[in-house]
Structure 1
């Protein structure tokens, strides 16, 4: 935990000229009236704080409770400021749902309302990672056919891609039929954006029609003038406001500043997610199958180097088969280091053998140019991973490196590398020398901004803070129930007494339950037990896509939905369908989590409390997000039930509860069951 006290709450009225404040208030009122909504004081408070921060180039952290309407509260002052000042703003979200809301509804509405107050019409653009757009040159045969397996698990720089593109997407079609559909769609789409294709296709099919930025032929591509990702980037370079996602911010923070256009203002919605997304973008892994596949690609273009790379892949496979799982604290084991060095040397030979002139010369010769650049870029990725593993970053505590076994049949053993800390890259690449607004419903943990500020590089207090109250009366709308009488969670599965408690609560609520579990095994075991005991539908994550499960849960008031991390954040089920949120245990990270354990060690070495700074902070954020699933509207009523007695008994329990919405607290199960029955009986049959 940071020792730096949180800044005082921002007072925008004192620092922004009154005329501009009135303008922000007036426009926000007009936008809300256009939507048929009512004025919310918290929304105006936030809008004025944002306007002041942009005007003075400050970093502002705004915790805006659920129901505040924070997207309009930052879009109105941002659009007014960018057009009037000539600056460009980047607005980033963590989820596809919010991104669609911003670009498809909120921004056009605000732009229309402010148009007559500005010297010109504002312009907006949407920007995603290269791989999210169809490649016309690849469709035209400019690249060799993709193999079944992906070369690397490279993130597509799309927020929460799994929620929109699950592994089963397009399962009603064969791979060939899906590719045919994409080809037909590519001839009529104006954007080439994968998310604009309905119904979508599987990841395997999409790989047949898209390329990464490294695989792109660039200016030598014969279809450059028709390039969808390049068109998106040109639009972004001309726009006042660019809407993107946290994965793109992660790419920019990880050493690729050109991933984003030049910008003067940054607005980060769902800012609590930013450190995790930047960490994910800066993390890579190395496997023997990946090395062997690059060697196969290289056979046509660099035979000698390809053989060396294939031999290195075989050595790596043998070494990793005999290597135990776990984190390496200071250096790679000697045999692993030797295998990685051989991979790096051979990959460098492949890159050297494929000259850039050869790529240019082959650009117009069937798939020759595409094959060359694909091979060269794949070998370059291998070389960069090997070089990072062999650098001093592990010894200097910049990276965390560990070995992991595949969890399923055929999954390879991996050498994983992740950054130990992303606060510096976020602060230096994204926040320095510009106005920035970071907002979320869960920025204060344990009652202060300290932990979140430290995670994004603002631990020195170089920011202003504003805590905007929610329009909800949490104390009257909901109950926080901690089952103090239950046994503490163990490692041997769910205790029968916990299952009894779950059944009694669901029965009292008449279904209407969102069950948030810390493991897939726990969710499945509880679902099976409830299906045997209760006469209510119990839906379980993994049995269908998240979107389908949420729709079914919302449509049937008697239904329950059980799941893990994907349900803790972003699921929005307002109304009577969700009146009980069950949380099985405090969501601490696993003790053997390599990144979390390494971060805790560093805190302890510096004299801090590693458990509180890392594990408790991680758990507090997830608990706050999970509890936030209950009250989504002014009319909502219900109970958040935490079945882990440590919240009431452990010393860190108060830190966790200070991070939650201020619901009315109790540890009395009879009181909670009676309240749930009253809510159940109030509902129409």
Structure 2
């Protein structure tokens, strides 16, 4: 048995508390494959089902690689829950196992994006602004007392914007009560939180004023990075990997402050390509320019003629931009997008003027950037960073680049915006991100040897030092419970998918898949006027009403205990409303539209066995509630994404690369991703070996027979996503009896 396998075995025994426990078959095989990849600097793409114990399969080889080979590892996850599990539970167990086997205990550190940590200077500035004590030089306890005395409801004003006191005051008091060793990260705050509130107490890396900050010694992001630089294993998130891949910025790999890494392990890897596309996306619109123009007066004196002129110029440019995009988009209907062709420049008339304006604003911001007032310096640095991003976004939408989709569309303002007038936006996004990942993450630049005495002496003497510019390949491991068939191609990796056995097969075998078969009145409800022998057309509006009633009937039978998922937000809102009306106080219904954070909603739902949680696509992944709380999961229809410029561009690229027709390429993009999301939604039901329940797909098109059905090649792909369920019914009566049987223990399936 190799050292890595011995460490895995010992980690399993520590984690389970069973002295003679052994790794699960799939867990052991995955570790063996990772060990071989580390030896050869290779790649592994693993379909590792939930319950396999893949965290230990990743950590055991990473620990031994650190202890025996001196190699450092980055482990990235998508969900906060898995990140917390690794740091709080799995990594300590694996480190203890490694120490027992090798005599060395590697160090592990958590590193999040810069703005995930509090900026203590921003915290104090915001607290003083909310309490009206700027310049009073209050001590921290005095400032906390002032905050505690504020009204518990209503809004304060913060730079002309409302600041929610009910949610914001607890955040500020928590931030001002932290001890030096506390991480001060976003996820450590237990209260309700919005992005707007967190933005008031944090800054991005481009907004930080560095060692000139009066509280730099206590800087939370700096301390997190210092700890990561000393660690053998750094646990992070996909957002950081995505920024490096999309922007080419050495956030992690090749970062001189963090040091050299040799291995990247990506858990929940299915989400990484989309994260990269989002990180590389750009948008320019009237809302962007107007927002920047308004922000100028929050930093500079609006009575200054130069500042007044810059604001007016920005607002005028915003209107000119909107007119230019509207002309280009003439004839494009609301809700549609208009692709930008290779030879078109959507900001031909306004682009250079907007860049010139942004540079003028940056020039005006140089003076407050050197101000002794910390608040003004932070605001100036933040706006300068936004202007840099704005200039980069103009360049991104202006010119055609191979592998980048560009389009314009009419957008609606957020619901809380004062001006509800729709506006035009020009956007761009990378399409195929495999090349970005391969070039910017899977290949690492060589870092100079800072400890070389000759290099040190030359630097001290002011002599130029030629730094090595070579690169070296990383060992790359990508695993997830669900992965598309050609994931290696998507992610720029050289390995094919390898599937590992699931320990939950028995739980899936005891559970039930329900796909309703329509008959009688229901047929006429969904397809009015339909007659045998005729085809019908799917009507999303009629389906929504029918699905709302089905959800109520199923939740009644399961006595709550449900996760209700919708393909569209508007449908989810309706389901939540009708479920609340039907519940009549017998169980609580939580939804993503309640104004609460997702973390709060999931916690409240998990803690109440009979509660119901209603959400849309974002809850199809990352929700983990083993036990009776989640005995029923419903999806109203297969969550296929609507056609969009990025997806369409991917289809076109596949048509060319594979020399195939549009429909086949479409199935490799839109249908494959919908199937992946459907499989992930089904995975919310079974989270432990003792779980049992029902997964309902309220989409009659899933069945081969009926007035409307998916094309057979498409249906086969969707069918594969739920193939782990061995018990299937199309009978509503049988579905209700199964749910009622969960209460009595009688899980026999009616005919």
What TM-score comes out, normalization by structure 1 length?
0.82
Question: 1:376: how far off?
Answer: 2.8
Give the secondary structure class of the aligned counterpart of 1:439.
Answer: strand
Q: Deviation string for 1:635-676 (max 9, x for gaps)?
A: 222221212123232311111121335111534314433333
How far, CA to CA, are the matches of 1:674 and 1:142 in structure 2?
56
Larger mean CA deviation between 291-300 and 58-67 belongs to 291-300
Q: Deviation string for 1:114-150 (max 9, x for gaps)?
A: 224335431111111111222234456699979xxxx
Question: 1:584: how far off?
Answer: 1.0
Q: Deviation string for 1:487-533 (max 9, x for gaps)?
A: 57423243555445444433443433322111122223334444555
How far, CA to CA, are the matches of 1:49 and 1:520 in structure 2?
41
Aligned 1:185-200 pairs, distance under 5 A: 185-186=177-178, 188=180, 190-199=182-191
Kindly indicate whether residue 612 of structure 2 is the aligned counterpart of residue 560 of structure 1.
yes
How far, CA to CA, are the matches of 1:464 and 1:20 in structure 2?
26
Match of 1:636 among 669, 674, 691: 691
Aligned 1:485-634 pairs, distance under 5 A: 485=518, 489-494=538-543, 497-531=546-580, 537=587, 539-541=589-591, 542-543=593-594, 544-591=596-643, 593-604=644-655, 606=657, 607-608=659-660, 609-634=664-689
Alignment correspondent of 1:14: none
Q: Deviation string for 1:441-483 (max 9, x for gaps)?
A: 112x4xxx32x2222123xx54563423334325522222222
How far, CA to CA, are the matches of 1:181 and 1:310 in structure 2?
39
- Relative to structure 1, is the Cα distance of residues 272 and 379 closer, same or farther in structure 2, using a 3 angstrom cutoff? same
- Relative to structure 1, is the Cα distance of residues 546 and 308 closer, same or farther in structure 2, using a 3 angstrom cutoff? closer
Consecutive unaligned residues in structure 2, runs of 5 or more = 131-154, 156-161, 253-257, 444-472, 527-536, 705-709
Match of 1:437 among 477, 486, 493: 477
Alignment correspondent of 1:479: 512
Match of 2:429 among 413, 418, 422: 418
How far, CA to CA, are the matches of 1:306 and 1:85 in structure 2?
61
- Relative to structure 1, is the Cα distance of residues 19 and 483 closer, same or farther in structure 2, using a 3 angstrom cutoff? same
Match of 2:277 among 258, 262, 279: 279
Alignment correspondent of 2:251: 259
Alignment correspondent of 1:121: 105
How far, CA to CA, are the matches of 1:524 and 1:203 in structure 2?
22
Alignment correspondent of 1:402: 408
Larger mean CA deviation between 239-248 and 27-36 belongs to 27-36
How far, CA to CA, are the matches of 2:311 and 2:348 in structure 1?
15
How far, CA to CA, are the matches of 1:383 and 1:499 in structure 2?
46
Alpha carbons 1:46, 1:466 under 8 Å: kept? no
Question: 1:216: how far off?
Answer: 1.5
How far, CA to CA, are the matches of 2:119 and 2:261 in structure 1?
27
How far, CA to CA, are the matches of 1:227 and 1:513 in structure 2?
43
Q: Which has the higher contact order (CA 8 A, sep 6+)?
A: 1
Question: 1:245: how far off?
Answer: 0.4
- Relative to structure 1, is the Cα distance of residues 204 and 500 closer, same or farther in structure 2, using a 3 angstrom cutoff? closer
Alpha carbons 1:508, 1:673 under 8 Å: kept? yes
- Relative to structure 1, is the Cα distance of residues 34 and 469 closer, same or farther in structure 2, using a 3 angstrom cutoff? same
Q: Deviation string for 1:48-89 (max 9, x for gaps)?
A: 222222232211111111211211221112111122211110
Alignment correspondent of 1:161: none
- Relative to structure 1, is the Cα distance of residues 279 and 62 closer, same or farther in structure 2, using a 3 angstrom cutoff? same
Question: 1:565: how far off?
Answer: 1.6
Give the secondary structure class of the aligned counterpart of 1:574.
Answer: coil
Question: 1:258: how far off?
Answer: 2.5
Alignment correspondent of 1:158: none
Alpha carbons 1:60, 1:437 under 8 Å: kept? yes
Question: 1:250: how far off?
Answer: 0.9
Give the secondary structure class of the aligned counterpart of 1:663.
Answer: coil
- Larger C-alpha radius of gyration, 1 or 2? 2
Alignment correspondent of 2:447: none
- Relative to structure 1, is the Cα distance of residues 199 and 332 closer, same or farther in structure 2, using a 3 angstrom cutoff? farther
Kindly indicate whether residue 384 of structure 2 is the aligned counterpart of residue 384 of structure 1.
no
How far, CA to CA, are the matches of 1:35 and 1:538 in structure 2?
39
Kindly indicate whether residue 273 of structure 2 is the aligned counterpart of residue 290 of structure 1.
no
How many pairs are equivalent? 632
Larger mean CA deviation between 63-72 and 366-375 belongs to 366-375
Question: 1:614: how far off?
Answer: 1.4
Question: 1:38: how far off?
Answer: 5.1
Question: 1:251: how far off?
Answer: 1.2
Alpha carbons 2:562, 2:612 under 8 Å: kept? yes
How far, CA to CA, are the matches of 2:218 and 2:517 in structure 1?
63
Question: 1:366: how far off?
Answer: 4.9
How far, CA to CA, are the matches of 2:607 and 2:269 in structure 1?
31
How far, CA to CA, are the matches of 1:30 and 1:188 in structure 2?
35
Question: 1:172: how far off?
Answer: 7.7
Alignment correspondent of 1:465: 498
Alignment correspondent of 1:3: none
Question: 1:623: how far off?
Answer: 0.2
Match of 1:75 among 43, 54, 59: 59
CA RMSD in angstroms, aligned pairs only? 3.5
- Relative to structure 1, is the Cα distance of residues 464 and 531 closer, same or farther in structure 2, using a 3 angstrom cutoff? closer
Alignment correspondent of 1:154: none
Alpha carbons 1:24, 1:47 under 8 Å: kept? no
Alpha carbons 1:125, 1:241 under 8 Å: kept? yes
Alpha carbons 1:133, 1:228 under 8 Å: kept? yes
How far, CA to CA, are the matches of 1:180 and 1:579 in structure 2?
39
Alignment correspondent of 1:152: none
Question: 1:179: how far off?
Answer: 6.5
Give the secondary structure class of the aligned counterpart of 1:100.
Answer: helix
Larger mean CA deviation between 58-67 and 22-31 belongs to 22-31
Alpha carbons 1:579, 1:637 under 8 Å: kept? yes
Kindly indicate whether residue 49 of structure 2 is the aligned counterpart of residue 28 of structure 1.
no
Alpha carbons 1:479, 1:663 under 8 Å: kept? yes
Give the secondary structure class of the aligned counterpart of 2:736.
Answer: helix
How far, CA to CA, are the matches of 2:490 and 2:199 in structure 1?
34
How far, CA to CA, are the matches of 2:397 and 2:439 in structure 1?
24
Alpha carbons 2:52, 2:502 under 8 Å: kept? yes
Larger mean CA deviation between 341-350 and 124-133 belongs to 341-350
Alignment correspondent of 1:456: 491
Question: 1:276: how far off?
Answer: 1.6
Question: 1:435: how far off?
Answer: 0.8
Give the secondary structure class of the aligned counterpart of 1:337.
Answer: coil
